[in-house]
């Protein structure tokens, strides 16, 4: 089965949001245009409590994009974003979501961040997504969304580890740091991920 996994296409990651990905809004029509090519469409949402550990505002004397240690791992401190129940956490209004069979929420535990759609950053808690996709019969997994260099990449990494044949849809995704993403693309290719364009689906 051919599945599309749409990562975090949420208002706070759009231009004008609290943690904007450059040109993040440009991917919305691309995603809408490819959805009918898939047997299954699933999306994710960052869904943080207000007191989330990744928010710089929750650490006295710290600023956005500072780095701390959490559970022995480096943690970037982000602007407050995608707080549960807020407009910023909602999926972009222009996304055509009627075909989405499920939406998996991540980052719900206040004490650890969760970039991947499959696990938190410490691999302590599963979202259940891998089991869901396998039960549905997913073999080919196509990933896109925001941001390419963070949540999309970590989701791809875990998807490969889970045994899925993975495809990254480049023009249906945007990176927070385009320069840094060049090296990440090389890592994905080395992992066996196919880099494709929406027109080739």
Among the listed residues 12, 113, 144, 151, the single catalytic one is 151
CB atoms within 10 A of CB 180: 11
Task: Tell me the C-alpha distance between 28 and 9, whole Å.
Answer: 8
Is 151 annotated in the active site?
yes
Task: Report yes or no: 198 and 30 within 8 Å, Cβ to Cβ.
Answer: yes
Is 187 annotated in the active site?
no
How do residues 143-172 score in pLDDT, each as one tens digit? Answer: 999 999 999 999 999 999 999 999 999 999
70-74, 127-131, 182-186: which range is least confident on average? 70-74
Among the listed residues 8, 12, 46, 120, the single catalytic one is 8
Q: What is the pTM of this model?
A: 0.96
User: Please, what sign has the CA dihedral across residues 129, 46, 101, 156?
Assistant: negative
Q: Which CATH number fits domain 2-200: 3.90.1170.40, 3.40.50.620, 3.40.50.850, 3.40.50.300?
A: 3.40.50.850
Is 82 annotated in the active site?
no
Closest residue by Cα to residue 133 from 122, 124, 142, 125: 142
How do residues 16-38 score in pLDDT, each as one tens digit? Answer: 999 999 999 999 999 999 999 99
């Amino acid at each position: 089965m051919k599945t599309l996994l749409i990562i975090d296409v949420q208002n706070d990651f759009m231009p004008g949001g609290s943690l904007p990905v450059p040109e993040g809004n440009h991917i919305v029509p691309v995603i809408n245009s490819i959805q009918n090519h898939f047997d299954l469409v699933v999306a994710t949402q960052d869904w943080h409590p207000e007191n989330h550990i990744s928010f710089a505002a929750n650490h006295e004397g710290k600023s956005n994009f500072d780095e701390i240690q959490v559970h022995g791992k480096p943690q970037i401190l982000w602007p407050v974003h995608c707080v549960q129940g807020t407009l910023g956490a909602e999926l972009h209004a222009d996304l055509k979501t009627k075909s989405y069979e499920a939406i998996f929420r991540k980052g719900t535990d206040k004490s650890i961040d969760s970039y991947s759609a499959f696990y938190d950053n410490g691999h302590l808690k599963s979202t259940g997504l891998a089991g869901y996709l396998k039960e549905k019969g997913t073999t080919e997994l196509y990933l896109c969304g925001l941001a390419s260099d963070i949540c999309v990449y970590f989701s791809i990494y875990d998807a490969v580890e889970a045994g899925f044949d993975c495809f990254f849809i480049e023009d249906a995704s945007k990176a927070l740091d385009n320069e840094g993403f060049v090296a990440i693309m090389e890592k994905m290719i080395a992992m066996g991920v196919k880099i494709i364009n929406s027109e080739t689906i």
